[in-house]
Protein backbone atom coordinates (compact mmCIF):
# COMPACT_ATOMS: atom_id res chain seq x y z
CA UNK A 1 0.00 0.00 0.00
CA UNK A 2 1.23 3.45 -0.86
CA UNK A 3 2.11 5.92 1.84
CA UNK A 4 0.12 9.07 2.57
CA UNK A 5 0.98 11.94 0.23
CA UNK A 6 1.70 15.38 1.64
CA UNK A 7 1.50 18.94 0.34
CA UNK A 8 4.82 20.72 -0.10
CA UNK A 9 5.18 24.41 -0.96
CA UNK A 10 8.39 26.02 -2.24
CA UNK A 11 8.02 29.81 -2.19
CA UNK A 12 9.99 33.00 -1.59
CA UNK A 13 11.91 35.51 -3.69
CA UNK A 14 15.07 33.40 -4.00
CA UNK A 15 16.19 31.19 -6.85
CA UNK A 16 15.61 27.45 -6.66
CA UNK A 17 11.89 26.74 -6.28
CA UNK A 18 11.41 25.02 -9.63
CA UNK A 19 14.87 23.47 -9.33
CA UNK A 20 13.88 21.90 -6.00
CA UNK A 21 10.70 20.53 -7.57
CA UNK A 22 12.74 19.08 -10.45
CA UNK A 23 15.10 17.45 -7.96
CA UNK A 24 12.18 15.86 -6.15
CA UNK A 25 10.77 14.78 -9.52
CA UNK A 26 14.03 13.02 -10.41
CA UNK A 27 14.13 11.33 -7.01
CA UNK A 28 10.52 10.14 -7.43
CA UNK A 29 11.21 8.86 -10.95
CA UNK A 30 14.28 7.04 -9.67
CA UNK A 31 12.03 5.26 -7.18
CA UNK A 32 9.70 4.18 -9.99
CA UNK A 33 6.93 6.67 -9.18
CA UNK A 34 4.74 8.32 -11.82
CA UNK A 35 5.02 12.11 -11.90
CA UNK A 36 2.90 14.86 -13.44
CA UNK A 37 4.78 18.16 -13.79
CA UNK A 38 2.35 20.99 -14.61
CA UNK A 39 3.78 24.43 -15.34
CA UNK A 40 1.56 27.49 -15.03
CA UNK A 41 2.52 30.83 -16.57
CA UNK A 42 5.43 29.17 -18.44
CA UNK A 43 5.06 28.46 -22.13
CA UNK A 44 8.64 28.48 -23.32
CA UNK A 45 10.80 25.37 -23.72
CA UNK A 46 13.26 25.00 -20.84
CA UNK A 47 16.39 22.85 -20.61
CA UNK A 48 14.80 20.64 -17.97
CA UNK A 49 12.22 19.51 -20.54
CA UNK A 50 14.99 17.97 -22.68
CA UNK A 51 16.51 16.14 -19.73
CA UNK A 52 13.24 15.04 -18.16
CA UNK A 53 11.79 13.83 -21.48
CA UNK A 54 14.04 10.78 -21.15
CA UNK A 55 11.93 9.40 -18.30
CA UNK A 56 8.99 7.12 -19.08
CA UNK A 57 6.98 7.79 -15.93
CA UNK A 58 6.86 11.57 -16.37
CA UNK A 59 4.23 13.76 -17.98
CA UNK A 60 5.04 17.47 -18.45
CA UNK A 61 2.28 19.92 -19.37
CA UNK A 62 2.64 23.67 -19.83
CA UNK A 63 -0.27 26.05 -19.40
CA UNK A 64 1.22 29.41 -20.25
CA UNK A 65 2.11 31.56 -23.21
CA UNK A 66 5.63 32.12 -24.55
CA UNK A 67 5.76 35.58 -22.95
CA UNK A 68 6.23 36.52 -19.32
CA UNK A 69 3.43 38.28 -17.47
CA UNK A 70 4.81 41.61 -16.26
CA UNK A 71 1.65 43.38 -15.19
CA UNK A 72 -1.95 42.70 -16.11
CA UNK A 73 -2.47 39.20 -17.52
CA UNK A 74 -4.20 38.83 -20.87
CA UNK A 75 -7.36 36.82 -21.45
CA UNK A 76 -5.10 34.20 -23.07
CA UNK A 77 -3.01 33.99 -19.87
CA UNK A 78 -6.15 33.46 -17.81
CA UNK A 79 -7.53 30.85 -20.21
CA UNK A 80 -4.24 28.92 -20.25
CA UNK A 81 -4.09 28.83 -16.44
CA UNK A 82 -7.77 27.82 -16.14
CA UNK A 83 -7.12 25.04 -18.67
CA UNK A 84 -4.26 23.82 -16.48
CA UNK A 85 -6.36 24.08 -13.35
CA UNK A 86 -9.17 22.09 -14.99
CA UNK A 87 -6.68 19.51 -16.31
CA UNK A 88 -5.34 18.82 -12.81
CA UNK A 89 -8.83 18.86 -11.24
CA UNK A 90 -10.01 16.33 -13.84
CA UNK A 91 -7.11 14.01 -13.03
CA UNK A 92 -7.67 14.32 -9.27
CA UNK A 93 -11.40 13.68 -9.71
CA UNK A 94 -11.54 11.07 -12.47
CA UNK A 95 -8.12 9.35 -12.42
CA UNK A 96 -6.96 9.70 -8.81
CA UNK A 97 -4.37 6.90 -8.97
CA UNK A 98 -2.77 7.99 -12.23
CA UNK A 99 0.17 9.86 -10.64
CA UNK A 100 2.12 9.41 -7.40
CA UNK A 101 3.57 12.94 -7.45
CA UNK A 102 2.00 16.07 -8.95
CA UNK A 103 4.00 19.29 -9.27
CA UNK A 104 2.12 22.56 -9.78
CA UNK A 105 5.04 24.73 -10.86
CA UNK A 106 4.37 28.48 -10.52
CA UNK A 107 0.83 27.90 -9.21
CA UNK A 108 1.48 30.56 -6.55
CA UNK A 109 2.36 33.05 -9.30
CA UNK A 110 -0.83 32.11 -11.15
CA UNK A 111 -2.76 33.03 -7.98
CA UNK A 112 -0.72 36.23 -7.52
CA UNK A 113 -1.63 37.38 -11.04
CA UNK A 114 -5.30 36.43 -10.56
CA UNK A 115 -5.28 33.66 -13.15
CA UNK A 116 -7.18 31.62 -10.59
CA UNK A 117 -7.85 32.25 -6.90
CA UNK A 118 -6.15 30.88 -3.82
CA UNK A 119 -9.54 29.34 -2.93
CA UNK A 120 -9.33 27.41 -6.19
CA UNK A 121 -5.78 26.33 -5.37
CA UNK A 122 -7.01 25.18 -1.95
CA UNK A 123 -9.76 23.24 -3.75
CA UNK A 124 -7.06 21.43 -5.76
CA UNK A 125 -5.21 20.67 -2.54
CA UNK A 126 -8.42 19.31 -1.01
CA UNK A 127 -9.13 17.15 -4.10
CA UNK A 128 -5.60 15.72 -4.06
CA UNK A 129 -5.80 11.94 -3.80
CA UNK A 130 -4.72 10.76 -0.35
CA UNK A 131 -1.63 8.92 -1.60
CA UNK A 132 -0.47 11.63 -4.00
CA UNK A 133 2.38 13.97 -3.07
CA UNK A 134 1.56 17.51 -4.21
CA UNK A 135 4.30 20.09 -4.80
CA UNK A 136 3.36 23.75 -5.30
CA UNK A 137 5.99 26.28 -6.35
CA UNK A 138 6.19 29.99 -6.96
CA UNK A 139 6.71 33.26 -5.18
CA UNK A 140 3.98 34.84 -3.12
CA UNK A 141 2.30 31.77 -1.63
CA UNK A 142 -0.77 33.04 0.18
CA UNK A 143 -1.25 32.48 3.88
CA UNK A 144 -4.16 30.13 3.11
CA UNK A 145 -1.90 27.92 0.99
CA UNK A 146 0.88 28.04 3.58
CA UNK A 147 -1.56 27.09 6.34
CA UNK A 148 -2.95 24.18 4.32
CA UNK A 149 0.47 22.77 3.36
CA UNK A 150 2.33 20.11 5.33
CA UNK A 151 5.79 21.43 4.43
CA UNK A 152 6.75 24.96 3.40
CA UNK A 153 10.22 26.02 2.30
CA UNK A 154 10.99 29.66 1.67
CA UNK A 155 13.80 30.44 -0.74
CA UNK A 156 15.29 33.76 0.34
CA UNK A 157 17.37 35.85 -2.01
CA UNK A 158 20.53 37.08 -0.30
CA UNK A 159 22.45 37.98 -3.43
CA UNK A 160 21.76 37.36 -7.13
CA UNK A 161 23.85 38.16 -10.20
CA UNK A 162 20.63 39.14 -12.02
CA UNK A 163 20.93 42.51 -10.25
CA UNK A 164 24.28 42.91 -12.06
CA UNK A 165 22.54 42.51 -15.44
CA UNK A 166 23.18 38.78 -15.96
CA UNK A 167 20.31 37.33 -18.00
CA UNK A 168 18.90 33.81 -17.64
CA UNK A 169 21.45 31.30 -18.94
CA UNK A 170 20.71 27.99 -20.68
CA UNK A 171 21.18 25.07 -18.34
CA UNK A 172 21.41 27.26 -15.23
CA UNK A 173 18.27 29.42 -15.05
CA UNK A 174 16.41 28.09 -18.07
Contacts of 125 by beta carbon, 8 Å cutoff, 6+ apart: 7, 134, 136, 145, 148, 149
Are β-strands 7-11 and 133-137 bridged in parallel, bridged antiparallel, or unpaired? parallel
In a domain, 65, yes or no: yes
| Arithmetic mean of pLDDT, 73-83 | 93
* 171 within a domain of the structure (yes/no): no
pLDDT at residue 171 greater than cutoff 90: no
Residue 49: pLDDT above 60? yes
E-only strand ranges, 25-165? 35-40, 58-63, 101-105, 133-137, 151-154
- 11 located within any domain: yes
174 domain-assigned:
no
Range of 11's domain?
Answer: 7-164
**Residue 157 in this model has a pLDDT that exceeds 60:** yes
Number of domains in the chain: 1
Q: Examine residue 18 and state whether it is found in any structural domain, yes or no.
A: yes
Whether 169 maps to a domain, the answer reads no
- pTM of the model as a whole: 0.92
- Please give the pLDDT value at position 124: 97
Q: Please report, for the domain that includes residue 15, its CATH number.
A: 3.40.50.300
Q: Residue 134 has what pLDDT?
A: 98
The answer to whether 118 and 145 have CB atoms below 8 angstroms apart is yes
Residue 172 within any structural domain of the chain: no
- Give the residue-averaged pLDDT of 154-160: 89
- Is residue 170 a part of any domain in this protein? no
Give the residue with greater pLDDT, 104 vs 169: 104
Q: Phi/psi zone of residue 12: left (φ > 0), alpha (ψ -120 to 50 degrees), beta? A: left
Q: What is the pLDDT of residue 51?
A: 85
Q: Which helix (H) or strand (E) holds 117?
A: none
Amino acid sequence: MKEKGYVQVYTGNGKGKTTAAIGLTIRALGAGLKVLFVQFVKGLPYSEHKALSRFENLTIKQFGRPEFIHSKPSDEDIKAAKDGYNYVMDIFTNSPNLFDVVVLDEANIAVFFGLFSDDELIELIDKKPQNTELIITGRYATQKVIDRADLVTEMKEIKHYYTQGVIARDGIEK
